[in-house]
Structure 1
C-alpha cells in the first residue's frame, strides 16, 4: 500500500512540474557563446546605441523602433544565444547570417549593420515596419503564408510585434504603419537609448521583468526573443482563440506589473 501511494505521489509530482513549466511560459535561460573574435573588448551600451542610431539612419529605419527591436532580441547582450540557436545581439540564426554575409554574429560592429540591412529588405518586401518586425521574428515565409491564408501568427510573434511597435500585427496587415514613439520624449535618442538599457526592474528577479523599459512611453520588452515553437498554432481554431485571449490578458497584467516595479 505504501509503495503504491509513493508511486502515485511521484507521478503527480512529475505532472505538476510539467504543467507548471508550461503555464509559467518563461523562456529558457539565455546561453552565452564567445565571439569569433575573443580578443575584442565587450561593447559598451554607448557604442551599441551609436551603432543603432547610425545604421537606422543609413537604412531609413525609425531609430526608436530599431532600438526596441534589438533590445527585444537580446537586451543588448552581444553574446546571447537563444534556445534554438539564434546568435548575438541581433539574434541571427546561422543560416540567415550566412545568407546575409554576416561572419561573426557576436560582433556588434557586424551584427547591427546586418540587422538594419535585413530589416530594410523585409520592409521593402512587406510594405511596413510592423510586418518587417513580424518577419524578422517568425520568418518571411511564415508571415507571407499568414497574410495569404489568414489564421494566426505564432503567439511569440504577436507579442514581439506588440512589444516593439505598441500595435498588434493585424493592424500592420491592414496597412497601418508604425507610429513613431520616442524612447523618452524628455531625452534625445542617444541618452534615452542608454538610460533605457541601463535601467532594470529592482523588484523582480525573473527574466520576464529584469530588462523591462521603465518609461511609460516605452512598450516593455517582456522577454528576449526565443524564436521557439508556437504550441497554440497546432491546436484547433476554437482553442487557439481561447488561448490567445488568455495570453492577451496575461500580457496586460504583466505589463501593468512591470510598470509598477520599474
Structure 2
C-alpha cells in the first residue's frame, strides 16, 4: 500500500518536472525546485477545504467563548460536569475541538512518501540552487533546517493565538516549540529538496492561517472587548447617576 503511494507520488513529480523542462527550463536545480513548488502548491490547494472547515470551527469556538466562561465559572469545582457541559455546548453550536488538527497532519504522510521518492533519484549532476550545492543531499550550510523549524513554528503559533484555550488542555506554546525543534533536527539529515517541500508548504500554511484563522479571531476578540468595555462604561455611568437621582428625589420630597 505504502509503495503504491510512493509510486503515485513519483509519477506526479516526474510529470511535473518533465513539463517544466519541456517549457525551456534548462537549469537542473531550478527545474527541480519549480517542480517541488508546483507539487506543494497542488497539495495545499487540495487540502484547502479542510483548512476552511477548521477555520470555521475555530471561529465558532471564539463566538461561544462568553458561554464557555460562564460554564467554567459555574462548574469550576466539578471537572466532570464542566467537561460534559462544554462538550454539550460544542455540539449545540456544531464546533469541533479537533477541527484544526487534520490540515496540519495531512502533509506528514506525503512528506514520508516524498522521502522515498527522492531517495530513488540518482545520478543527478549539477542539481544546485542558490547556496545549496546538491538538492538531493542535506544542506551543508545548515540554513534549511533552521528555516524548517521557523516555518513550522510560525503557523502553529498563529493557530494557537486564534484558538481559545481549553480547560485542562495541553500547553500549546510548549507543543509548538517541540514540534518545530523536531522538524529542525530531522531536516539536518533530509535531502534539501525534501526540506524545501516542507518550508514551501509551511509558508503557504502561514498565509492561510493568518487570513482564515488569526485575523478573524483577533477581530472577534477586539469586538468582544469593545462590547465589554461599553457595558462597563454604561454600568459606571449608572453608578454615578444613581446617587444624583437619589439626592434629587430627596430634595423634591423635602419641598
| TM-score, reference length from structure 1 | 0.26
Higher Rg of the two aligned structures: 2
Greater fraction helix = 2
TM-score of the superposition, structure 2-length normalised? 0.27
> With CA pairs under 8 Å and 6+ residues apart, which has the higher RCO, 1 or 2?
2
